[in-house]
Amino acid sequence: MNAYKKWRRDVLSKESGKLSDLHALLKSKENILKMDNSELNFVLSCFFLAVRKENGEVYLPDTIHVFISGIQKHFQMNGRDVSFFIDTQFKGLKNCLENLLKERSKLGICLYKKQAKPITTEQEDKLWQSKLLGDETPRMLLNTMFWIIRIYFGLRGGQEHSNLALNNFKIGCDTDGRRFLQYTETMPKTNSRLKYRRVNPHCAKAYELIENPARCPVAIFQKYTSKLHPSSNPKKFYYNPIINGGLRGPWFTLVAVGHRQLNQVVKTIMHDAGYEGHYTNNSLRVTATRLTNAEVPDQLIMAQTGQCSSADGLVEIR
């Protein structure tokens, strides 16, 4: 509703002119809930044809759909059952939206946002070789810890990483003596994932890389946690590196890294490596890709990366 309210203010701040009917209607009925269906048909058609971003660009079609769904929900929450896509009384609005989306499609304004570019194994090798990934400095170690968790355990957005705590992880050892890093998610108190019929927390193991210790998830985790400040809050996981300190003692401050900064980790690493293109944390779809190439069943891939599926319990990547 915020976009609508801003658009309404903009219309009323201008001279009426050609929009005299619209101007008069918006002025007489400040509350959109007071408009009848005929008035809504007219006003919302004008709104969707005119609404723009702050920089003047048009909205993507999926954002337009979010707007119309939000306005519809606003009416329903206030006791007025309307359906802009079904009710024949809103045929004019529906036709307006269909024509609008067709025009934008012709102009190359796609339905979906730009997709993140995947990161290849060759690119990742270069990052390790150029020491953008590794454990030699505080910043490098922080970025590598983020990278490892994203690859092996499927955490995506900055907020997911920001919600991590030290007790989400532990190092274990299986019956043949091979060590692993185990991740167990913290389930929300309301367990909103019940709608996916999964009542057990997502749990996964990443085994040590004996043949490649420099990239070993167990070793990276041990190095990272050993360099945290002794007074670090165990309810947090990522901490800001000490920039100008020596390599003796703690490498990290007591200030946790914010989710916005975590959202930029992969983008920053790829930029520093000289790669051009749209790289985000979603570019690290490496785990699922490598498992698929290894012909691991989809059910196990979903369980390892925490995607919703019928597979519960614990799976492993060796």
Q: What is the pLDDT of residues 229-282, one digit of tens each?
A: 999 999 999 999 998 766 788 999 999 999 889 989 999 999 999 998 889 888
Same domain, 71 and 219: no
Domain encompassing residue 237: 121-317
Which residue reads 């946790």 in tokens? 256
pTM of the predicted protein model: 0.58
Q: Quick one: pLDDT band at residue 86, thresholds 50, 70, 90? A: confident
pLDDT computed for residue 273 by the predictor = 92
65-72 mean pLDDT: 83
DSSP SS3 for 120: coil
**CA distances to 265, 273, 316 from 279, in Å:** 10, 12, 27
Which tens digits make up the pLDDT trace of 196-231?
Answer: 444 567 788 889 998 899 999 999 999 999 999 999
Residue 174 resides in a domain: yes
Q: Is the pLDDT of residue 300 over 50?
A: no
Do the domain assignments include residue 113? no
157 and 296 share one domain:
yes
Average pLDDT estimate for 7-19: 73
The pLDDT of residue 67: 85
63/49 Cα distance (integer angstroms): 13
Residues 298, 168 share a domain: yes
pLDDT classification of 135: cutoffs 50, 70, 90: very high
pLDDT of residue 182: 93
The total domain count for the chain is: 2
